Chains A and B, each alone.
Chain A
């Protein structure tokens, strides 16, 4: 009794070396990742500034010209952006409906058996290296398209790359959407069924809207992946900037262009060199914006379920 009394009055600080050590390590890890990010952005910005500082380069040219060849004074970023946009839009048009449908099927309809087969298949799909997808597009999908469109389509084309890119991001959208659907509490479904709703009405009109913020985030992440994807477009979409939104044309995306040019021999401090950083900075800004939008969507539409 006396012992307990004594202890309970001692409120002085106890040293806990283990705690502080772990805390310091975790803090260091956090700082490191922030530092690396800042360093990359800094490097990117530094080189890109050289490009933007070039007296011949003006913002008007940058955003209105339709040809990209900085070496000879053509600064039209749209020549690359058009291909990035076209392939990404095709990819999302494929991946969103299919991904959403598989997510609804997996979370609302699939039996245990069907799930245990489909989930691993999706994971395998997500694990295939993108270069394999690239050659799949060029050597398998393009010949099929060639059969359909005959001479209307070029050997390298944005359609093939976009379609395959859609297949690539499908598992991502499916699994993120499925997580969002699974997070919708069972009580909400039961509430709908108790109103005499069918399974379809419940899935599409109650569960899906309830998971909208998560699905929105999945779509944005999917778009970011498509915009940033390099190998597939480098292999299958075409090698050379081309201002075109026609999926049947060959064109080079921002990423594909960076990959090709930086792969060749390139001397420092030339405009060709610094222009790559300018493209990279643009890409970075696009994905950053997409991420911010997705965070905003998640917060804005986050549902509380009780």
Chain B
């Protein structure tokens, strides 16, 4: 049973100093599915997502209570090496952040530090194909990644993430800085990727969540400004027959 879940959380709360940004989240995220996290700005979507690969470790004063289970192991357990965990759980950021290296090196670097031994050329090609970028860059692999357009850079960031073959890919508004065409390409890409990966995506775009995701988590803040998941379930159900009035207001655009 457990094997069906990519990530499970139990009473997960995330604090910045005395402020509880995310409170008591208990959800089960399915394998090889796309799970969207939606909710108004400041409700803790990014905070929750970053808790899944221990990115909040770098925020001074941040603290996590509760559990994030990966194969039944608590990600915040005593013996867990966060570096090792991040190798299993890749992340694509809101703004494309390629490394100041060549296109080729952007992909090879991550693989190399992760101890990849096989043919690097093949891995680079495979990853770029996987991110639907190969045809556009195959003749310029030695060029700086900064020469690419924003949408291409974002696909490069996806390519370098799949090059380290994580189990889960986290995406924080990966298309918010992109034009509609690039956005569609990323969405198509996600459908392709979910065959091999579990994807969790934060998005502000209701159509995108409805269109592209299998499951949706709706977040909202309470009276103490702490965010929580108020509704979680299959995307179709959540968008057509929400049980919570606040979800209905939000997905139909009647809320901020």
Contact = CB atoms under 8 A, between A and B. Distances in A.
A190 B87 contact: no
| Top 6 A-B pairs, shortest CB-CB distance | A196-B87, A195-B110, A194-B91, A191-B97, A187-B97, A196-B86
B62 to A, nearest CB: 14
B114 A196 contact: yes
A196 B95 contact: no
Contacts of B184: none
A198 B113 CA distance: 9
Contact of A196 (B58, B97, B164): B164
B5 interface: no
B93 A210 contact: no
B146 interface: yes
B99 A188 contact: yes
Interface in A172-206: 185, 187-198, 201, 205-206
A194 B88 CA distance: 10
Interface of A: 185, 187-198, 201, 205-206, 209-210, 303-306
B146 A188 contact: no
Contacts of A193: 55, 58, 86
Contact of B100 (A190, A197, A201, A303): A303
A209 B101 contact: yes
A85 to B, nearest CB: 33
B84 interface: yes
Nearest to A191: B97
Residues of B in contact with A, size category: 20 to 34
A306 B100 CA distance: 9
A196 B110 contact: yes
B105 to A, nearest CB: 10
A233 B113 CA distance: 46
A195 B97 contact: no
A201 B93 contact: no
B87 to A, nearest CB: 3
Contacts of B132: none
A193 B101 CA distance: 16
B58 A194 contact: no
B95 A195 contact: no
B44 interface: no
B246 to A, nearest CB: 31
B188 to A, nearest CB: 23
B58 to A, nearest CB: 7
A187 B93 contact: yes
Contact of B95 (A205, A206, A303, A306): A306
Contacts of A192: 99
Given A195-B113, A196-B164, A206-B99, A190 B93 contact: yes
Contacts of A210: 99-100
B83 A197 contact: yes
Given A194-B55, A201-B113, A306 B99 contact: no
A306 B55 contact: no
Contact of A190 (B55, B113, B161): B55
Interface string B91-111: 101011111110000000110
